[in-house]
Amino acid sequence: MVNLHEDIYVDLDGTLVQTDLLFESAIQLLKNNFFYIALFPFWLLKGRSHLKSKIAERTSINIDSLPYNHNLIEYLREKKNDGHHLFLATASHQKFADQVSEHLGIFQGVIATNDRCNLKSHQKLVAIRKNSDRFSYIGNSRDDYCLFEHAQNAILVNGSKRFTEKTNEIFKIDRVFPVTPWSFKTLLSSLRVYQWTKNVLLFIPLFLSGSLSEEQSLSTIVMMFFSFSLLASATYIFNDLSDIENDRQHPRKCSRPIASGVLPIPVAILSAFILIIASYSIAFLIGPKATMGLSCYLVITLFYTYIAKTYFLVDVIFLATLYSIRIIIGAVVINLDVSIWLLAFSMFIFLSLALVKRVSELLTLQQKSRTTTSGRDYTISDVNILTMMGIVSAFISVLVIMLFIAEGTEYKNPEFIWFICPIVLYWTSRLWFKTIRHEMTDDPIVFAFKDKGSLVCGIFIFITISLSIYL
């Protein structure tokens, strides 16, 4: 047990909170102005403490929403009530450490990194010994080994069973606070593999052109599907990194691996770059058109992630564009012309689906008695007008199909196309009813692949177009 005369020192990153404030503040700075990345190497040349100070000067973190280790905090509150003196000892910058200390209200003092000293490992030990002759230390990594060695009581916070066992072999660990370790399954969750279903849109030009039986074109689109999917997963990671603070305040998104702190930020960033390399490797095998199309998608996605999604209505237009660009790229890589009618239909139908997504999120917040979104320029009062716009967009997409048929097509049996109109009308109306009834919990495209009614509609549309083109 800890002696009453021993002070307790607690690490911050990875211990008191399940994240790293240096990475969080750096991401926040780059989100505000990406060109700061050019200054990072020069700041780092002057030392890690200088880098942390420069980043801290220019950023703020929502301390209240950080993923705190609540079991550890409860333990610390008990120790404080027993008369122990608690100190926060961290390599994070003094600015953020002071804010965490003030928020929790349990620490008698804070020692942290400033512009002169990076308080890590041996530097932290020196600072602690200046303050206390006998101390207990709570940490989570190999950097804390020198502190465990000199502490009267060592307490480990870590999710890795292997690391815990290894540390316990070297030091006598008095207590372990386990946390959820990241795993490959956690990483897959961040990659949102289920969202790959959206990339089926790449096959639409091939299908509508009647070229589905051409092996070369089909193999090209299959390769493009995987290239696109890998890149999309990378952009989802960038999106989650950009939205860390907003996601933590969302009733459903707060459980995402990055926002909850389960998936370490460095692992997420490394995974994103590996996915981008793999994606472009496949695109290079296909050809320059695939590479160019992939690059266009990446640029638009990043622009949406870091700029467009914070602006009212601009975000849904960009979402509709990101859906439509899949169809365009699917046509370009196999040298097909994209019909103006198909583009018009896709923009209206996907605008409707983007609005479904926004309205669904607003209704979820309304259930939680919240009036505004975090990181989005919408309020609950916008629901009615957004719903009206979405339904009108859906109906206009059906009108586009009718005008396309009326102009005349080169299909073998164009009369079958008419049956698509009532099916699309029913499906889009169904989506909006599901949304208003609070039954829309996913991206509408993903929802469509799970919803039996939507799947039946999709099968009938496939059969109808097949009869029109291939019969």
Do 327 and 350 share a domain, yes or no? no
Do 228 and 137 share a domain, yes or no? no
Q: In DSSP terms, which residues pair with 8 in a beta bridge? A: 86, 136
On whether residue 170 sits in a domain, the answer given is: yes
Distance between CA atoms of residues 285 and 278, nearest Å: 11
On whether residue 47 sits in a domain, the answer given is: yes
pLDDT surpassing 60 at residue 5: no
- Looking at residue 2, what is its pLDDT? 43
State the distance between the two ends of the chain, measured CA to CA, in whole angstroms: 81
On whether residue 270 sits in a domain, the answer given is: yes
On whether residue 1 sits in a domain, the answer given is: no
On whether residue 129 sits in a domain, the answer given is: yes
Do 52 and 189 share a domain, yes or no? no
CA–chain centroid gap for 360, Å, is 18
Distance between CA atoms of residues 388 and 384, nearest Å: 6
Q: How many residues does the chain have?
A: 471
Do 333 and 347 share a domain, yes or no? no
- Looking at residue 228, what is its pLDDT? 93
pLDDT tens-digit series, residues 269-311: 999 999 999 999 999 999 999 999 999 999 999 888 888 888 8
- Looking at residue 112, what is its pLDDT? 95
Look at residues 138, 159, 177 and tell me which one is the last residue of a structural domain.
177
Q: What does the mean pLDDT of the chain come to?
A: 89
Look at residues 134, 159, 177 and tell me which one is the last residue of a structural domain.
177
- Looking at residue 3, what is its pLDDT? 46
Do 201 and 272 share a domain, yes or no? yes
pLDDT band at residue 375 using 50, 70 and 90 as cut-offs: low
Reading the block at residue 295, the tokens are: 């690059």
Stretch 13-33: mean pLDDT: 92
Look at residues 137, 154, 177 and tell me which one is the last residue of a structural domain.
177
On whether residue 2 sits in a domain, the answer given is: no
Q: What is the largest CA-CA distance in the chain?
A: 90
Q: In DSSP terms, which residues pair with 318 in a beta bridge? A: none
Q: At what angle do helices 184-191 and 215-242 cross, to 10 degrees?
A: 100
Do 85 and 79 meet the contact criterion of CB atoms below 8 Å apart?
no
Do 451 and 330 share a domain, yes or no? no
Task: Sort residue 154 into left (φ over 0), alpha (ψ -120 to 50) or beta.
Answer: beta
pLDDT tens-digit series, residues 216-264: 999 999 999 999 999 999 999 999 998 898 888 877 788 889 999 899 9
Give the rounded percent of residues in the chain with a pLDDT score beyond 90: 55
On whether residue 34 sits in a domain, the answer given is: yes
pLDDT surpassing 80 at residue 63: yes
pLDDT tens-digit series, residues 155-211: 999 867 888 888 888 888 889 998 888 888 899 989 988 888 889 999 988 888 877
CATH of the domain at 251: 1.10.357.140
- Looking at residue 194, what is its pLDDT? 85
Number of domains in the chain: 3
Do 13 and 156 share a domain, yes or no? yes
pLDDT band at residue 409 using 50, 70 and 90 as cut-offs: low
3-state secondary structure (DSSP) of residue 313 = coil
Q: What are phi and psi of 311, to 5 degrees?
A: -105, 135
- Residue identified by tokens 């459980």 is 255
Do 250 and 374 meet the contact criterion of CB atoms below 8 Å apart?
yes
Low-confidence winner among 267-271, 306-310, 327-331, 368-372 (lowest mean pLDDT): 368-372
Do 157 and 97 share a domain, yes or no? yes
Domain that includes residue 14, residue range: 7-177
Do 309 and 209 share a domain, yes or no? yes
CATH of the domain at 70: 3.40.50.1000
- Looking at residue 169, what is its pLDDT? 84
- Looking at residue 1, what is its pLDDT? 41
Give the rounded percent of residues in the chain with a pLDDT score beyond 70: 96
Do 447 and 390 share a domain, yes or no? yes
Q: In DSSP terms, which residues pair with 87 in a beta bridge? A: 9, 109
Stronger pLDDT, 320 or 412, i.e. the higher one? 320
Do 380 and 361 meet the contact criterion of CB atoms below 8 Å apart?
no
Do 54 and 74 share a domain, yes or no? yes
Strand order in the sheet with 135-139: 109-113, 86-93, 7-10, 135-139, 153-157, 173-177
The candidate with the shortest Cα–Cα distance to 149, out of 116, 172, 180, 115, is 172
- Looking at residue 209, what is its pLDDT? 81
Do 253 and 402 share a domain, yes or no? no
On whether residue 127 sits in a domain, the answer given is: yes
Distance between CA atoms of residues 161 and 128, nearest Å: 28
Stretch 116-140: mean pLDDT: 91
